[in-house]
Amino acid sequence: RKEVEQDPGPFNVPEGATVAFNCTYSNSASQSFFWYRQDCRKEPKLLMSVYSSGNEDGRFTAQLNRASQYISLLIRDSKLSDSATYLCAVMGGSYIPTFGRGTSLIVHP
């Protein structure tokens, strides 16, 4: 089993839709979790950290499920500008981050 796994997609959704991505991790000792957004030919940019209690930033909600070892990202009211690849990052006690391969999102008119 890979350390961090994501469905590569693409997820193809209309504007205004709600879409959710999951990211599973294998190391139960993982402590820090993040979602990054990467546009084509650009660097990954931090979207949000994922806290144990879950957190929300506008249209974006991130949650952590330690029992099932996954994190999720929910995007409400999708915009065309949300089209990108979404990478999850998982960090264990050694502070060595592992990134997923990313999930591609395409929002169409």
CA atoms within 13 A on the CB side of 18: 5
Q: Is 66 in the site for other proteins (CB under 8 A)?
A: no
Largest CA distance in the chain: 44
One residue of 20, 42, 51, 80 binding other proteins per CB under 8 A: 42
Q: Is 51 in the site for other proteins (CB under 8 A)?
A: no
Q: Is 55 in the site for other proteins (CB under 8 A)?
A: no
One residue of 14, 43, 67, 68 binding other proteins per CB under 8 A: 43
DSSP H/E element including 30: none
Positions that interact with other proteins (CB under 8 A): 31-32, 34, 42-46, 49, 87, 89, 91, 94-102
